[in-house]
Structure 1
Amino acid sequence: MPRRGMGVELVLALVLALLVVGVEELIEGGTLRLLGVGTAAAVLSLLRRRLPVPVLLVTTALSVEVVGLILLEMVVGWSAGRRIAGARRALAAFTGAYVVFMGTVALTNWSEVQQAVETALLLTLAFLATTVIPGLSSRHWSQRQTLLHALQERNAQLLWERQMVAGQARLVERQRIAQDMHDSLGHQLALIAVHTGALEVDPELTGRQREAVGVLRNASVTAMHELREVVGILRDGVAGTPAPVEETGRAARGTAGVGELVEAARAAGNTVELRRSGEVRPLAAAADHAAYRIVQEALTNAYKHAPGAPIAVELRYEPDSLVAEIVSGPATAAAGDAVSGGQGLTGLRERARLVGGMVHAGPTPGGGFRVAGVLPYGVVEASPLVAEEDLPGAFPGASPNAVHEGGPRAMDWSVQGWAAPGGPAGLPAPPSGRPRPRLSGLGLGCGIAMVALALLAAAAVGGVVFLMDSMDEGMIDRAEYDQVTVGESEESVRGRLPSGETVVTTGLTGKGPKRPPDSSCLVLMSSESSESYEEEPVFRFCFRDGVLVEKKAYDVVR
């Protein structure tokens, strides 16, 4: 047991011992008796967890003679209800405790019990209130907590398994998409590269045409390299952004490659101006790649939707971030049938958000179009999804109603109060350990306590009513005693007096002066109170051969 738990047990044992000693001192004093009762209460309290059944039986037996142990009996009953495994064992333990309880009462007060059924009923009610009800309440609370924990663990396991199945399905789908892309796009790009390479060396082409064919061949080779990388990511199931690298026929995919993107656009016949301002500062690999993609996508959109329009590309190195802004003028020629999936700008916004930046795209007052991205220099967490009106001055001229879009957020894995770290392939790791229940047992405990108190109150009221009725069967006043004379017939005397068969006269029969030989006596309590708290005035009527042979009034020490 932990130290904290042991400390609580010691304090509880001390409190119970003091309470039991205090109750016992009010009823019957004696230093040695009080010392023994307190020690027994403390020892039984400490042993109730390890030996629930023996402690329950011993406490029940001792509570018959030591009234103060009733307090300990309630605690022991609560503890036994939780710790006895199996319903049959618990039923057997509490039944055995009841048998021990009633057997001890019968052994200590046999002469009274055999003639007073009311005593057994009252003691049974007391046993139910002090032992059985706490035990049942504790067992119900413990089983409910165990069931809650099992359901929570099962729910967490099912959620994790569902995540695993979904992750495997995504990986299979990625592999299928990767295979389709490789088989279709790879073949077409390879054909374009081969034919443009052959066309480039055709002697009938002019220099200008040969230069344009070279641009097409370089573009197809670069597209093949990027397709190979995307296919690899889809097959591996690992999304990452590589650092800028140099490859033959391929521009560096970062801010260093923006110049080559502009040169390729100029070679294709577009008017493109590139401006750089501010002190050049390095970006994180993911942010650097995002800047390259923003410029590339903006130029592609300008080619498709505004052919012949002048384009201005500007990279501004601000104190805290890089601003990549691409502005295209109004179209000077009719746009052709451009193929567009409608996902380019959405993908740019998500790419920028993942590195802590943002992207705005919208028309300009002169009829052109602007794409601007703000990217931090360092590696930061993904920015929250915010409206642009919450960021005044970020994009001059931006639409006041524009809202940044974002991809799906990470799943919030918080079943029953724990956070699971990421597992393989981005899946959450399986839950470990027992989760902390969200529902506290305080409400249930209070409800059980209220029910127990209500039952105890009902038992107390019933006991008071029972005692008041019993008083009439076991008590007379001095006038009734004086009206009875020695020599009257037993039938006449018993007809005028109560029967005396009640719990209130228990323990009075065997005390007092010696009875006449061969006589049977009726002992009744007096309605008058004694001067001493420990003495009880009684009246005794003894009969022999059907005649009253003696009547006496005396005090009995309880």
Structure 2
Amino acid sequence: MYWHLPPGHEAGAPFGVLDGSVSLPFRPHRHDVLLAVLGLSGGVLLWLFGLHLQGNRALMAPWVCLVPLAVVSGLELLRRTAPQTGLVIGTFALVADQFTVGNLATVLMFTDLVYAAVLYGKPSAARRIPVTTFLITVAVTVGFLAWFRNPQALLIGVVTAMVSFLPSLTAVSVRNHRDAAETARLHAEQTALLAEMDRAQAVTAERTRMARELHDMVANHLSAIAIHSTAALSIDDPETSRGALGVIRENSVDGLAEMRRLIGLLRTGDAAVEPAASPTLTSLDALVEQARTNAASSGLSCVFEDAREERGPLAAPVELAAYRIVQESLTNALKHAAPGPVTVRLGQRGPLLTVEVSSVLGVRDGPRAPGSGAGLVGMRERVALLGGTIDAGPSTATGGGDIWRVRAELPVEEGVSGR
């Protein structure tokens, strides 16, 4: 039973096994079968018409030239799977053909065996065969010139080159083009793979940015809504409930506006939606005032201190990161801080913008909103993207007592790092 070789199969590959028995290693390619049949048929026709390459040999009958012809025709079946073996045996068949009346088909099929040995053989053979055939051509030319002492002996060298050296040289060119095409294909596949990896990373980064932006924009409002709705449900006082509902309505409207802004940023192709500008440091006063209103019922008092000497505008990513850090820190204070001051401080030390938010650390009575820890992760991601540093954790206040402090240092100039 035979079996087809897979594409790209090289000589020397192991035999296939089918149905528990060892099979032949290949089935000849249909083109190789066609070459063998045409070569054999053409050679027989040339012999029948008496078209020989040489005169009659006294010691051999004319039909003997059919033996090398049959051998070389059979070797055509091995031109893809065992090209070097075919070339070695074909060389002996060609030499034997010189002692007969000769057949043109035998010579032509031998040139194809040389071509196939370079094209389909091992890389070492592809380098060695052209050099070998060139040396053989030179040796034959010089030898016959020395023997005949006639310039017509150069024709023998030309024939030798046409039979051996030129087919190998052509095969080298074809093989180089084929290898270059394969290299280009692999390079294109690698480029496509890298592009897909870059696309996946970009999608992941964009999803992370969207999640971080959504959390920072909405968490503050939802935390205030959760705390005041719990207070309205748990305290049976009309004034308290009315005040809580007012805060809930205000945060609902603001949260809806923030959501619309985010949707506007995502719908870049929707001309009907005009996304608002990104928050800046000049908006911190309004942010702290809103937090002061939301936290009044929890015993928190929010204070904003801007200690910067120069209060000019900074790079948009820096101002947005600082704003979001303050926003998330105020949200966390609203959720977890004990009654007392919540201080927001801005400062600038050289090329670094300092953002610090501190609140009283302790147990607080009354309603509290749960936390997920995503806010701290988002703050660290924002600071890391800018090459800054951030610390968040308990600390000791100057006048005594424990506080929770978030302190971030953001470089205001490109290439400056807080690390």
Q: What band does the TM-score fall into relative to the shorter chain?
A: 0.3 to 0.5
TM-score, normalising length: structure 2: 0.46
- TM-score of the aligned structures, taking structure 1 as reference length: 0.36
Q: Higher helix fraction: Structure 1 or Structure 2?
A: 2
